[in-house]
Amino acid sequence: MSELRFDGKVAVITGAGHGLGRSHALSLAERGAKVVVNDLGGALDGTGASTGPAADVVELINKNGGEAVASTDNVATPEGAKAIVQAAIDAFGRLDVVVNNAGILRDKSFGKMSVEEFDQVLAVHVRGSFLVSRAAFPYLKEQGYGRIVNTSSPAGLFGNFGQANYSTAKMGLVGLTKTLGIEGARAGIKANAIAPVAWTRMTEALLPAEFEAKFTAERVSALVTFLAHESCETSGEVFSVGGGRIARVFVAEGPGWRQDDHTVEDIRDNWEAIMAEQPYLTPIALGQQASASMKAML
């Protein structure tokens, strides 16, 4: 089997100055992609800014024989997102891959979380992914080809104490990914999401020390690189990845229970059937789920 290459392809990777984003950038560049390394250069909580992280990754890529340019624009503003995409067009003349990886943490228990702490996390993760994808979409659509990889999280899929803001944002990215997969289909644009577990500056305080060697960022980047490749025809899916294990994650609907004109007491008395998991349906779009509900009425 031939090596999966990205020669002639251009990728934008946000949050690429550290951790997973840095690893994604190096992986794609090693396989021939020209890369826009975007990173605001701030702290984990989103405060501050520095040109250093993005510049360091660009320097490493160029040193290794690749091609890259740095961007320190803010993904959470329309102007910043547009500038990130424009950096790819100005430097390399095209854009093929968008990896939305930028993120911040403002962890706090729900009762103590401020509105500002909630909004700021959503602004970077959800708004940032939306804005960068929106800025890239016309270019991808015009050329009839594109790959978008969003970064969700197990915290979003399954919840996590102290991360109401982060969990909300990461589950929101699942909805964005599925809709982008549907709307991009006719234009040859595939969109998928990852829910990674990796040892990075975001997780080093949460994961046991022995995880560092096993949950490397490189193991996550292998999946991102595949999802970003032209040979990957899958779209609208979410994958958990970490420690060498990769699995599809899907939203399923159980068989349910139906009765015309049911009362509150009827619901109580049939709760076990409502909670049943088998056999389950995995709709790929709202229309399919609605169709199943309609059929149940016949």
Q: List the catalytic residues.
A: 166
Calpha distance 48→89 (Å, rounded): 27
Looking only at Cα atoms, what is the longest distance across the chain? 70
For the chain, report the end-to-end CA distance as a whole number of angstroms.
50
> What does the alpha-carbon distance between residue 297 and residue 44 come to, in Å, rounded to a whole number?
50
The Cβ of residue 229 has, within 10 Å, a number of other Cβ atoms equal to 18
Instruction: Read off the amino acid at residue 244.
Output: G
Measured in whole angstroms, the distance separating CA 201 from the mean position of its chain's CA atoms is: 18
Q: What Cα–Cα distance (Å) separates residue 111 from each residue in 105, 117, 186, 257, 271?
A: 17, 12, 45, 36, 31
Are 201 and 19 contacting, i.e. CB atoms less than 8 angstroms apart? yes
